Amino acid sequence: MLRNVPTRAIQHLTLLFNSILQLGYFPTIWKATKVIPVHKPNKPPTDVNSYRPISLLSSTSKLLERIIASRLTTFVNQNHLIPDTQFGFRKKHSTVFQLARIVDHITHGYNLRKHTGMALLDLEKAYDTVWITGLLYKLIDLKVPEYLLFVLLSYLEGRTSTVHINDTRSTPISLHSDYFKAQSYPPPSSPSILLISHNTLTPN
């Protein structure tokens, strides 16, 4: 829809987005999520776990999120804040390269008659493990620009969700939590947020 707006509207949106970034304020109305439960095939309809929540946000909200995500990712990459051994969720990187790196490491050890051990950790609902307060502390420690800090804080706070089923909808639910709930509002910045939050799991 936004691709078809006239040039004048794009200019107004640009001014609006720049003002939001300068003020560090993410509009409250853009943080309201419409959730539609979609029934999973072959699951009992009376079980709440049988439904997959589909979250819908306004187009302008998602566009602004992409701008924030782009600036955050650019800052992270320019300052080499993510270890070179991190291949997932990064442009021009592939998990195939990670596999090649592991094979090379094993082969090198084998040639030296050494054994290679590997521990694999699988985080279920990885985004939900991101501690917001800890994330903000880490962003400050990494010297992320203040305007990004403020707009991210505003973005994460005061979010609401409304569940819609057919013609019925719930009252707005406040999403107060100390942890990042990607299921409720999966933004484009999710990969960057996850990488920054968990990058200390891998030595630099």
The pLDDT of residue 184 is 46
pLDDT band at 97 (very low <50, low <70, confident <90, very high): confident
Burial class for 9, CB neighbours closer than 10 Å (0-12, 13-18, 19+):
exposed
pLDDT at 186 over 50: no
> What pLDDT does residue 134 have?
80
When pLDDT is averaged across residues 170-181 and rounded to a whole number, the result is 69
Q: What is the pLDDT of residues 111-131, one digit of tens each?
A: 999 998 888 877 776 666 677
Percentage, residues of the chain above pLDDT 90: 19
Q: Do residues 194 and 127 lie in contact, with contact meaning Cβ atoms separated by under 8 Å? A: yes
Q: CB of 158 within 8 A of CB of 28?
A: yes
| pTM score of the predicted model | 0.73
**Centroid of chain to Cα 70:** 12
Instruction: Give the CA count within 13 Å in the CB-facing half-sphere of 126.
Output: 15
- CA 156-161-163 angle, to 5 degrees, is 160
pLDDT band at residue 23 under the 50/70/90 scheme? very high
Work out the pLDDT band at 103, boundaries 50, 70, 90. Answer: very high
